[in-house]
Amino acid sequence: MTGAVNLNGVLVDDGFAEAFPMKGTRLLITAHNAEWAHHAAVAATGFATSVIACGCEAAIERELSAEETPDGRPGVSVLIFSMSGKELAKQVERRVGQCVLTCPTTAVYAGLDQGEAIALGKNLRFFGDGWQVSKVIDGRRYWRVPVMDGEFVAQETTFVVKGVGGGNLLLIARDVPAALGAAEAAVAAMRRVPNVIMPFPGGVVRSGSKVGSKYPALSASTNDAFCPSLAGVSPRSELQPGQDCVMEIVIDGLSEADVAAAMRAGLHAALERGADSGLLRISAGNYGGKLGPFLFHLHPLLEVKV
C-alpha cells in the first residue's frame, strides 16, 4: 500500500491494472419486442466470462430503442471479445447460429461500420437450404433465411477491431455485504459508459486469478495475494487484518480510452460510498507489466496528486 492516498476514508493504492490486446466486435440484435431481443442477447453472451476457458468474453452493452436499430425494432447491443480474429469469428458464428437464429422474431446486424470483416449471416444463410435470398441496401448485403415464424434477417458480415481486455478494479472491504455493495455501485456506473462490458456474472468476479499455477496443467489459479483466508498463510498476501472480502471487476473495451473511462467511473462510484459503507481500500491486479502493454494507473485516473 506504499503511496496509497485516502479519499473519503478509503485507501486507493498507488498501483495499476494491467490489460492486454484483444479483438472485439459489436452485434445489434433486434426482435418483435425488447423482451425477446433480451432473451437472444442473454443466450448469445452466455458462458463468456473469460478467455481462459470460454473462448471469448461477452456481455450486453446496452438496450436499444427502435429509433437506434437498422430495422426500427427494439434491440440490444452486445460486445464480444477474443484473443484473435479467427477465434472471434468462430465464436460469433456459433453464438448467433445457436442463440439468435433460434430465438423467435430476431434479426442481427453489425454494430460497427469499419474494421476487418468476418462472417455474420454469410454462412448461417445455408440453414435456409437453398430457400435463402439476399438483398443489398446501401452497399451492405443482408440475408433472409426462412424460419417457422417468418424469416431470420442477418447482415452478411460484421467488423472486428482491436480492443483492450483485462482492465480491473479490486474492491477490498470489511465483509461480503460491503464489498458487494461497492462492486454493484461501480458496475452500475460503468454500464453507463459506452463501448465497454464487464463480462463476469453481474459484472463482478470473486475468483480473481493469477497467471500460472503449481499444477503444470493449469494456466491460471486463485489470486492468493487477495484471498482473505490466506492472509496469514500466503507469502504473497497483500491484505491487512480486517480486510475480509475482495471483489474484482474486469473491464473489456473497444479502446484504451474506453476502458480508462469505465475504470474512472467505477472508482468514483465506489469512493462515493465512503469508509462508513465498509469499503476499506481499492487496488488493481497486475503482473508487473509482463502480461500486457496497457497500464491503467489508479491515481492518474482519479487525477490524484501525491
pLDDT in tens, 73-123: 999 999 999 999 999 999 999 999 999 999 999 999 999 999 999 999 999
Together in a domain, 30 and 138: yes
b/e map of 133-164 (b: 16 or more CB within 10 Å)? eeeeeeeeebbbbeeeeeebbbbbbbbbbebb
How does pLDDT run across 237-252, given as a tens digit for each residue?
Answer: 999 999 999 999 999 9
Residue 303 is predicted with a pLDDT of 84
Q: State whether 141 and 194 are in the same domain.
A: no
294 and 205, same structural domain? Answer: yes
- Confidence check: pLDDT of 306 > 70: no
CA 64 to chain centre: 18
Task: Output the pLDDT for position 30.
Answer: 98
pLDDT of residue 269: 98
- Domain shared by 81 and 130, yes or no: yes
pLDDT tens readout for residues 169-225: 999 999 999 999 999 999 999 999 999 999 999 999 999 999 899 999 998 999 999
| Closest to 195 (Cα-Cα) out of 170, 168, 169, 165 | 165
111, 137, 161 — which closes off a domain? 161
223: domain range? 5-19+163-302
Mean pLDDT to the nearest integer, 36-43 = 98
pLDDT at 3 over 90: no
Same domain? For 43 and 152 the reply is yes
Query: What pLDDT shows up at residue 304?
Result: 65
User: What is the mean pLDDT of the segment spanning 272-299?
Assistant: 94
Same domain, 254 and 294: yes
CATH number at residue 233: 3.30.70.520
What is residue 9's DSSP assignment? T
Q: Are 163 and 23 in contact (CB under 8 A)?
A: yes
Measured between alpha carbons, how far is 219 from 244 in angstroms, rounded to an integer? 27
What is the tally of structural domains in the chain? 2
| Listed residues 137, 161, 185: the one ending a domain | 161
CA torsion sign, 289 to 90 to 141 to 152? Answer: negative
- 192 plus 82 within the same structural domain: no
Is it the case that residue 1 has pLDDT exceeding 60?
no
Same domain, 55 and 112: yes
Q: Are residues 135 and 167 in the same domain?
A: no
pLDDT class of 139 with cuts at 50, 70, 90 = very high
- Does residue 251 sit in the same domain as residue 191? yes
What are the DSSP calls for 46-101, one per residue? Answer: SS-S-TTTSS-EEEEEEEE-GGGSTTSS-EEEEEEEESSHHHHHHHHHHHHHHHTT
**Alpha helices (H) along 191-284:** 256-273
**87 shares its domain with 191:** no
Percent of the chain with pLDDT over 90: 94
Please indicate, yes or no, whether residues 204 and 217 belong to a single structural domain of this protein: yes
Q: What pLDDT was estimated at residue 152?
A: 98
What is the percent of the chain with per-residue pLDDT over 70, rounded to a whole number? 98
> Of 116, 146, 161, which residue is a domain's last?
161
- Looking at residue 287, its pLDDT comes to 83
* CA separation, residue 95 to residues 143, 200, 208, 274 (Å): 17, 17, 26, 41
> What pLDDT score was predicted for residue 289?
81
